[in-house]
Amino acid sequence: MATLIIADCENNQLAPTTGSVISAAQEIGGDIDLFVSGHDTNDIVSNAQSIAGVRKVWVAEGEEYAHPLAESLTPLVVNLAPQYTHILASASTFGKNLLPRIAAVLDMAVVSDVCKIIAPHVYERYCYAGNILATVKNHSAIQVLTIRTTAFSHAEKKAPSSASTESISSDSINEQSRFMGIETHQSDRPDLTIANTVIAGGRGLGSKENFSIIETLAHKLNAAIGASRAAVDAGYAPNDWQVGQTGKVVAPKLYIAIGISGAIQHTAGMKDSQVIVAINKDADAPIFQAADYGLVADLFKVLPQFIELLAAR
Amino acid sequence: MKIMTAIKRVPDYNLRVRPLPDQLQVDLRNVKMSINPFCEIAVEEAVRIKERGIASEVIAVSIGEDACKEQIRVALAIGADRGIFVKTNAEIQPLASAKILYALYRQEQPDLVILGKQSIDGDNNQTGQMLAGLAGLPQGTFASAVTFAEGAVTVTREVDVGLETIKLTLPAVITADLRLNTPRYLTLPNIMRARKKEMTTIALDSLNVDVTPKIELLGVASPTQRQPCTFVNDAVELVDKLTNEARVL
Ligand SMILES: Cc1cc2nc3c(=O)[nH]c(=O)nc-3n(C[C@H](O)[C@H](O)[C@H](O)COP(=O)(O)OP(=O)(O)OC[C@H]3O[C@@H](n4cnc5c(N)ncnc54)[C@H](O)[C@@H]3O)c2cc1C
């Protein structure tokens, strides 16, 4: 068995969740190779080489790979595919965009959002907004999987650079798609998908200005910030903070949901957190069914006190 | 410009579905079915592109049992011009859907295909990308804005690091995210008008596509339940519990 991991190299660096995909590959067993891409891949490659357990790093370098366009990357991976029994990527927007395209060209199925490896062809995954945990067996010759990274340990073990590298390129030129720009929200908060603590705000915050109290609290706890869809739709928070069925999936040690009602589409993205706290003024809000600790209160009254208590510790 | 959209019939998004007692299948008996919310957004976008004078025809495709015609009627009531119903009782997985849509793509030759980014039953998020791969078309997935200029389409994508903008040549495949638009309410006159619009039924066999499922469902379960919530009275008690009981502060 051999697994090819298509590493998420957005922002010209190995995504912090790469370790989780490697953990999943280790559970499958066999050799593990990494595929990385970028404009200037020196840092990415040396990082990739130093991860324990990686046999080989395939490198696609060039201006056309500065941003991970599916049209550019697909032919490269399709060429490598026959050497592998498994092709994995994180279930991030990167992996979800790319892997189904590759799989279709190879005439293989994809298992999305794998959260447990039961056997090399058998997996667990959530569907129906997290209401159903399904066990599936994939009969495709090449197993193409996106990995729910919160379900696997992301602690990479470092090893002296031992993995070999090989460059790859393609004769086909992508004239179909072009990267035009990216709008990212600069933040000094930890990455939402790997943070130990997440403070999430919902429509209950009432305005973008009010949402800053979530940021203050997050700062105090060195936490990442999350948001409900309603909060993003209303413009209180940027889209990449959305947690849920259609946003990011998080599973921190501590998740505090503030002014969030707890719709299934939201809890689908956070219910595997270790400890969940809900602060909501409505005692009947469904979020309390997902929570370990609940405080029925006006968030504008309790949060200042909460922040003060944390500061006094 | 001609636009093809694809729509799926799924359990209503407000429902919590459960496993059947045998834990082999999901219990969909007596469950209210609706158009998948992302597909509804896809159709709405196609119709808006037509209303802006950029497209001349919008086709709505659905695959499945007879009841799927209800969802095609919804698409026609939103403003699609005609429907194509691919009739089958077989289980259709994402790769099979993509192959069927590719067969229709070759027949209809649309300039743009818009799908929802995922269906809220399987939560797979695959079909659009697979169709693009099979047809060798560029893909604009998770779209929150779509604009046209000089034979190209510019797509703003909701990605994990923010909002990405890419430009695609036409024909292209786009998958709709939630913030692309808010679908209109259906008015009675439009529902009536939709009844008179053309809907063609195609037998799946006539398309010559291999739809054999590659993924076998071995079992389904409800996720593990948490202990009931412990309610605290104030911030002081909350900090105490989190520090001394849960030990997460
Ligand atoms: C296809 C689909 C996909 C979706 N995907 C997602 C997703 O990925 N993520 C997601 O989050 N949602 C998603 N949704 C939306 C979801 O169904 C809910 O609409 C959304 O999560 C509601 O957000 P909210 O809890 O912030 O808002 P609301 O439901 O409006 O809740 C606001 C809460 O704030 C409380 N509140 C108000 N004022 C105060 C106060 N002063 N103090 C304390 N509490 C207060 C209220 O009691 C209420 O419970 C999706 C919906 C659909 C149809």
Q: What is the mean pLDDT of residues B93-118?
A: 98
Q: What is the ipTM of this complex?
A: 0.97
Q: Give B89-92 contacts, CB < 8 A, sequence gap 24+.
A: B89/B65, B90/B204, B90/B211, B91/B213, B92/B63, B92/B64, B92/B211
Q: What is the mean pLDDT of residues A106-127?
A: 97
Residue B206 has pLDDT above 80, yes or no: yes
DSSP-H helix ranges across chain A: 18-28, 42-49, 70-80, 93-106, 208-220, 229-233, 264-267, 287-290, 299-312
Average pLDDT in chain A: 96
From B129, B232, B248, residue closest to A253, measured CB to CB: B248
Of the listed ranges A8-17, A19-28, A251-260, B86-95, the one predicted with least confidence? A8-17
Of the listed ranges A152-161, A272-281, B29-38, the one predicted with least confidence? A152-161
Residue A182 has pLDDT above 90, yes or no: yes
Q: Could you give the CA distance from residue A198 to residue A201 in angstroms, rounded to a whole number?
A: 10
From B158, B231, B248, residue closest to A275, measured CB to CB: B248
Q: What is the mean pLDDT of residues B17-33?
A: 96
The answer as to whether B69 is a domain residue is: yes
Comparing alpha-carbon positions, the chain A residue that sits nearest to B230 is A293
What tokens appear for A276 in the block? 């969940």
One fold for both A2-167 and A197-312? yes
Q: What is the mean pLDDT of residues B186-202?
A: 97
State whether CATH 3.40.50.9100 applies to domain A197-312.
no
Mutate to test the interface with A, among B164, B169, B173, B241 (most CBs of A within 10 A): B164
CA dihedral B163, A174, A95, B90 (to 10 degrees): 110
Q: Can you tell me which residue has the tokens 């909460």?
A: A306
The answer as to whether B36 is a domain residue is: yes
Inter-chain residue contact A108 with B160, CB threshold 8 Å:
no
The pLDDT score that the predictor gives to residue A155 is 79
Q: A225 and A218 in contact (C-beta within 8 Å)?
A: yes
The answer as to whether B230 is a domain residue is: no
Residues 34-63 of chain B with CB under 8 A from chain A are: none
Instruction: Tell me the residue range of the domain where B115 lies.
Output: 2-223
The pLDDT score that the predictor gives to residue A157 is 79
Residue A171 has pLDDT above 90, yes or no: no
**Residue range A211-221, pLDDT digits in tens:** 999 999 999 99
**Hey, which residues does A123 pair with through a beta bridge?**
A117, A136
Residue A16 has pLDDT above 80, yes or no: yes
Distances (CA, A) of A112 to A257, B180, B209: 27, 23, 23
**Residue range A153-166, pLDDT digits in tens:** 987 778 777 899 99
The answer as to whether B203 is a domain residue is: yes
Inter-chain residue contact B238 with A306, CB threshold 8 Å:
yes
Q: What is the mean pLDDT of residues B49-65?
A: 98
Inter-chain residue contact B165 with A101, CB threshold 8 Å:
no
CATH assignment of the domain containing B49: 3.40.50.620
Residue B84 has pLDDT above 80, yes or no: yes
The answer as to whether B74 is a domain residue is: yes
The pLDDT score that the predictor gives to residue A187 is 81
How close B215 comes to chain A (CA, Å)?
A: 5
How close B7 comes to chain A (CA, Å)?
A: 17
Residue A6 has pLDDT above 90, yes or no: yes
Q: B236 and A309 in contact (C-beta within 8 Å)?
A: yes
The answer as to whether B238 is a domain residue is: no
Among protein residues, the one with the nearest Cα to ligand 1's atom 22 is A230
Band of pLDDT at residue B9, cut at 50, 70 and 90 = very high
Q: What is the mean pLDDT of residues A85-94?
A: 98
By most ligand atoms within 8 Å of CB, the mutation choice from B16, B177, B178 for ligand 1 is B178
CATH architecture type of domain A2-167: 3-Layer(aba) Sandwich (3.40)
DSSP state of B95: H
Q: What is the mean pLDDT of residues A203-228?
A: 97
How many Cβ atoms sit within 10 Å of the Cβ of residue B166?
25
Could you tell me the pTM of the whole model?
0.97
State in Å: Cα A262 to ligand 1 middle: 6
Q: How many domains does chain B have?
A: 1
